[in-house]
Structure 1
Amino acid sequence: MSDAYCLKFRAINKYLIESLVNPSIYFANPDQLNDPFDCRMDVNKIISSAVLGEKDQRQKDFLLSFLENKSFGENWKSQFENIGVFSVSMCSELTKKQPLMWSHYADEHRGLCVTYSFSEDCFTNAELLAKGMVKYCAAPDISGVFSSNFDPVKITQALLYIFLFNKSSEWGYESEFRLLKYSSGTFPINPSSIYEICFGLRTPKSDIDFIKKIASDYCGCTSFYQMQHDDSAMGFKAVKL
């Protein structure tokens, strides 16, 4: 994630204001995520599905050994109860104009979109558990996880990435990149990480003026845009303020 630009769609509220006055990002607990299956998939069901599709008896027996271990599922679930998830969308003009992102996360175009610029060393001391792009699928495929070896540690590590970085295909429009920490909560960032702010079509002028001032005063941000209708019937574009 070297000098990566990424997008975070936000409503304008006290949490946003606090994140600008004291430049920071928030790692949410899985219970706070809007997808009830996010980081909450039933690993026993995933393995059971793999058993049904496995033809090699040795590998099938190995899979069954996980299911027969009564504490495996509970231990797996407990180790993720306190993790923190910070989600962004990878920066592109297409994503910035994604109508569902503005509707779902930016208060129906009354909010804004923050562009972050994170340097490679930004999270050196952040106790990161993992980072990467989310994969979108109808159901997670774990066939390759168990076919390559019989090392429980390596299998657990591979399952971790499937468990934490897979979402249903319906979420694909988010183009999500995520960072995971061992605990949830606020994490301070360099003020210069706030690279740009783009306001929605319906963002009130009073909110625009207020956010521009605090973002400028506390983060040094000088790049502001607002979405406006373009020449097409249903499109819009970002216009510099």
Structure 2
Amino acid sequence: MKYPEITHLYKYRAFNIHSLSILINRKVWFANPNSFNDPFDCKIPYSHKLTPNEAVEYARRIGLTEDIIATILDTSGNIQDEFIQKWIEALNKSEEELKNIGVFTLSETNNNILLWAHYADAHRGFCIEFIRSRSNQLGDYNRTLRVQYKRDYPIINPTKKDVFELKYFTKSLDWAYEREWRLVNDQGNVEEPLSDIEMSSIIYGLEMPDSHKEIIKKVTRDIKEIKYRQAVIAENSFRLHIIDL
């Protein structure tokens, strides 16, 4: 398992009927990236530039026969116009299809003040702790990846193997404080069952009303070995501590 030191991932939520659905129905919402608060998120375009060598290497990688590959270049070694046109059409089609994906976002930290403020209703919400292991989707690095934060805008070469990571797991360095991970689904704007992903604890926000804590306890009492924890202000520090209850 890649990054074995990350054994838990966290989801910050406001207290509402939609967030309670995770706890009651054991389902999570895969949002379409169009709903995200970052206008660049998942929208970095493919580069249409293609060298002759890249065209041939890519054709071999996707399994085209040598007879077909031989037609890609003209007698001068340049890419045929017909292939370039088909290449651009294929990229545009791929871009359209991938607009439908769904993303379940998580963080590797549970005590970030800004995350509590932005995604958990100004500390009035809660945070769900999920177990990450070799035996579940969160530990499968083909499905759940760590977001990479970049200072420079990436160029996505669709002939390379890192296309998926660059397009859906790359954000501006401005967002690095989120320490985000993502589980990606083929379809967005859908609710999917957690299946093999276990919740290990619920963390109450600093300002969460006691009545909401009681509701959360009531709807999660059947979850095996679930723990309840509380965010508190650290003494003499701009930090939050998470304590067991």
The TM-score bracket by the shorter chain reads: 0.7 to 0.9
Matched residue, 2:129: 115
8 A contact 2:113–2:239 mirrored in 1: no
Equivalent of residue 205 in structure 2, options 200, 206, 220: 200
Query: What secondary structure sits across from 1:42 in the alignment?
Result: coil
Q: 1:67 to 1:135 in 2, by over 3 A?
A: farther
C-alpha separation in 1, matches of 2:143 and 2:27: 19
- Cα 1:237/1:215, change in 2 over 3 Å: same
Instruction: Out of 13-22 and 189-198, give the one that drifted further.
Output: 189-198
Partner in structure 2 of residue 100 of structure 1? 114
Say yes or no: does 1:238 pair with 2:242. Answer: yes
CA distance, structure 1, for counterparts of residue 151 and residue 85 of structure 2: 23
The 1-side partners of 2:24 and 2:111 are apart by 27
Shift of 1:66: 6.2
Which whole-Å deviations, capped at 9, do the CAs of 1:163-198 have from their partners, x for residues lacking one? 111101111011111111211222212587110111
Among candidates 3, 8, 14, match of residue 17 of structure 2: 14
SS across alignment from 2:19: helix
Structure 1 length as normaliser, TM-score?
A: 0.75
The one-character-per-residue Cα deviations of 1:127-176 (angstroms, maximum 9, x if unpaired) are: x974311110123444xx86xxxxx7xx2542222111110111101111
For residues 229 and 158 of structure 1, the distance between their equivalents in structure 2, rounded to whole angstroms, comes to 41
* 1:30–1:85 CA contact under 8 A, matched in 2: yes
Please say if residues 104 and 183 of structure 2, whose CA atoms lie closer than 8 Å, have aligned partners that are also in contact.
yes
Q: 8 Å contact 1:192–1:221 — kept in the other structure?
A: no
CA RMSD of aligned residues (A): 3.3
Residue in 2 that maps onto 1:186:
191
182-191 or 108-117: which moved more? Answer: 182-191
Equivalent residue of 1:79, what SS? helix
Q: Aligned partners of 2:242, 2:212: CA distance in 1, in Å?
A: 17
**Structure 2 equivalent of residue 176 of structure 1:** 180
1:28-69 CA distance string (max 9 Å, x none): 11222222221112224xx67xx9xxxx9977x88x986995
Matched residue SS, 2:11:
strand
Please say if 1:137 is aligned against 2:133: no
Given the alignment, which residue of 100, 104, 110 partners 1:82?
100
Count how many residue pairs are aligned between Structure 1 and Structure 2.
216
User: Once the two structures are aligned, what percentage of the paired residues are identical?
Assistant: 28
Say if 2:151 and 2:173, in contact at 8 Å, map to a contact too: yes
Q: Which runs of 5+ in 2 are unaligned?
A: 55-77
Contact 2:112 2:240 in 1 (8 A): no
1:4 aligns to 2:18 (yes or no): no
CA distance in 1, matches of 2:185, 2:91: 21
2:30 matches 1:30? no
Q: Distance in 1 between matches of 2:8 and 2:22?
A: 18
Q: Which has the higher helix share?
A: 1
User: Any idea what SS the aligned residue of 1:212 has?
Assistant: helix
Q: Which moved more, 1:191-200 or 1:11-20?
A: 191-200
Deviations 1:97-147, CA, capped at 9 Å, x for gaps: 2111101111110001110014434349x9x974311110123444xx86x
Residue matched to 2:165: 161
Pairing 1:54-93 to 2, within 5 Å after superposition = 69-90=87-108
The structure with the largest alpha-carbon Rg is 2
